[in-house]
Amino acid sequence: MLSINLLILIFSIFCISINDGRIIHYYFDEDNEERVNECIINAIDHLTEETCLQFVRSQVPKDSILFLDSGHCSWQETNNTVHLGVNCINDAMCSQIIARALTNDRPYPLVSRILNLKYNCTDKCTILCENGGSITGDCTCECGYGFTGDRCERLKGEALFTDTSCGIRDDDDDGTIALSSFPGNAPKQTYCQWLIKADEPWENIEFEIVELDLDNENLLPSQKCGDSFVIFGSSSVQNPIPCNSEGSAILGQKYRSDSNWLFIELRANAYSLRQHKGPLIKYNVVNEDGPNNIRTFSSEQVSTSTSTFIASFWTLLMTAIFRIAH
Ligand SMILES: *[C@@H]1O[C@H](CO)[C@@H](O)[C@H](O)[C@H]1NC(C)=O
Ligand SMILES: *[C@@H]1O[C@H](CO)[C@@H](O)[C@H](O)[C@H]1NC(C)=O
C-alpha cells in the first residue's frame, strides 16, 4: 500500500515540477474556420515567446480550453470555452481573450505581462508601467510627463507642491479637483499636480471643467493663458488649456480619460496682475463595457480547468503525504 502511495507522491512531484502550472492545454473544434485557428495560433506563438507559459494542443477536448468558432467572441467560464468568430477576431482580440481565459480578468493591453505576473514567470518581464509609461527593451518603464518611479506610479513634482490638495486621488470614485483655497483666491505662487486614478485598469475617468479662473490678462499675442494648465490622459483635451475667451468653450463639456488615470497640472504665473481661484474640475470613475471588452458568456465564478488541474495535483500530493504519515 505504502509503495503505491509513494509512487503517487513521486508522480505528483514529477507532474508539478514539469507543469509548474505553466502548461496550458487547448483544443480547436473540428468545425472551426481556418482563420479563427490561425489567429489563436499566432497569439499563442507570441505569448510563448513573451511568457513562461507553454501551450500544448490536445487531440481531445477534455481538460483543455476549447476554442470554438461560434460567430461571436466571448469567454464561457463554466465550460472552459473561448467563443470566436471571423467577424470579431484580430491580433489583439485573440491574445486578450486567451488572457481572459487564463486569468479570469478583464482584458487589457499588456497581456503578456499580466500572464507573467499571474504565473510567476520571474525570468520574464513582469513590470506593469502605470499612468501611460511605456516599457523599454530592458524591462524598465519610461514615464510620461509628470511621472516618476519604477512603475511611473509617483508624481514627479511632489517635492514642489504648494497646496495640500495636490497629489494622488485614488480612494474615491467621484470628487472634485480644486486648490484648497477655492473658491477663494490662490496664492500667486502655485504649483500643483493632481492624479486621479481608478482602481481597475479597464475603468475610465469622466470629468468636466466647471470653472477655470486662470490668468488671462496681459497675454502675449499667441498666448492662450498666463498660467500653464494642462490635462494629460485624455486625447479629447487639447493642451495647454486656454483660459482666454477660447477657454469658455470647454467649460461644462463632459470628457473621458483614455485609460484609468488623469493627470492635471497647474503652474501659476507668479507675475499675474491679480490673483485667481484656479480650476474646478468634477470627476467620476466609470466602469462600462466598451466595444473592445470581451464579454463573459456566463457570470458564474468557477475556477478554470488550468487551476483545477493544478489544484487536483496538490490534492493528490497532500492525500499521499497524509496517507504515508499515517
Ligand atoms: C460550452 O457551452 C456552449 C454553449 O452553451 C457550447 O456551444 C460549447 O460546445 C460548450 N463547450 C464544451 C467544452 O462543452
Ligand atoms: C506566485 O508566487 C506567489 C508568491 O511567491 C504565490 O503566492 C502565488 O500563488 C504564485 N502563483 C502561481 C500561479 O504559482
pLDDT tens-place string over residues 82-136 = 999 999 999 989 998 999 899 876 656 678 888 988 898 988 888 889 999 988 8
Nearest to 96, CA basis, from 302, 303, 310, 290: 290
Q: Do the Cβ atoms of 221 and 252 come closer than 8 Å?
A: no
The stretches of 82-158 forming alpha helices (DSSP H) are 91-103, 111-118
Residue 133 has a pLDDT of: 92
What are the domain boundaries of the chain? 23-122, 127-152, 157-287
Q: In a mutational test of the pocket of ligand 1, which residue from 28, 67, 68, 75 has the highest number of ligand atoms less than 8 Å from its CB? A: 68
Sheet containing 261-267, strands listed edge to edge, beginning at the edge strand earlier in sequence:
167-169, 191-197, 261-267, 228-232
DSSP 79: G
The CB-based long-range contact list for 268-271 (8 Å cut-off, 24+ gap) reads 268/186, 268/187, 268/188, 268/189, 268/190, 268/191, 268/214, 268/215, 268/227, 269/188, 269/215, 269/226, 269/227, 269/228, 270/188, 270/189, 271/188
CATH 2.60.120.290 applies to domain 157-287? yes
Tell me the pTM: 0.67
Residue 139 has a pLDDT of: 86
- Closest residue (by CA) to atom 1 of ligand 1? 79
Give every residue of the chain whose pLDDT is below 50, as ranges.
Answer: 1, 8-19, 290-291, 298-326
Q: In a mutational test of the pocket of ligand 1, which residue from 76, 82, 83 has the highest number of ligand atoms less than 8 Å from its CB? A: 76
- Closest residue (by CA) to atom 2 of ligand 1? 79
CATH of domain 23-122: 3.40.390.10
Residue 104 has a pLDDT of: 74
Residue 296 has a pLDDT of: 60
